[in-house]
Amino acid sequence: MKFETFSAIILTIKKQSEKISGMHSLGVDLVNFVDPYNDIISRCIKEFYGDDGLDWFNWFCYESDFGQRDWSKAATYVKNDDGTSTKIHEAGEPRWGATDKEGNPICHSILSTWEYLENNHKIK
């Protein structure tokens, strides 16, 4: 997929999400109205990048808040085999929501998400 197309899709989803949130705050529920459009977009992304690519796309849009989420606000922990937890990051410590095996940030912007999907999940 061309970057321009990918970027336009994400920016449109972001703009519509903002409008939907605004309407929701006024008591208007548009979920049933927008679900078919979300389904169409998901099918297209899945066609280009497969199931795992769609998961990363959705993660970037919704969990990472289109790359705007501040991951450093809270400490993060990892669960140990014995059921205890170990702190791996302090609150306020700069970090990214997702990294590759070498610790490099991935899917932190529209461009980096597109590059990651093109390089790792593109259906050939």
Residue 87 reports pLDDT greater than 90: no
**Predicted local confidence at residue 30, as pLDDT:** 78
Using the predicted structure, report yes or no on whether residue 94 has a pLDDT greater than 70.
Answer: no
Rounded Cα distance between 88 and 72, Å, is 12
Of residues 66 and 80, more confidently modeled: 66
Give the pLDDT confidence of 20-63 residue by residue, as tens digits.
888 878 888 877 788 889 999 999 999 999 999 999 999 999 99
What average pLDDT score do residues 77-81 get?
82
Q: What is the mean pLDDT of residues 64-84?
A: 83
Residue-wise pLDDT for 16-32, tens only, equals: 989 888 887 888 887 77
Q: Rounded to an integer, what distance in angstroms lies between the CA atom of residue 54 and that of residue 50?
A: 6
Question: What residues pair up with 76 in beta bridges, in sequence order?
Answer: 89
Taking the C-alpha atoms of residue 21 and residue 93, their distance in angstroms, rounded to an integer, is: 29
User: Going by DSSP bridges, is the β-strand pair 85-89/76-79 parallel, antiparallel, or unpaired?
Assistant: antiparallel
Whole-number Å distance between alpha carbons of 24 and 20: 6
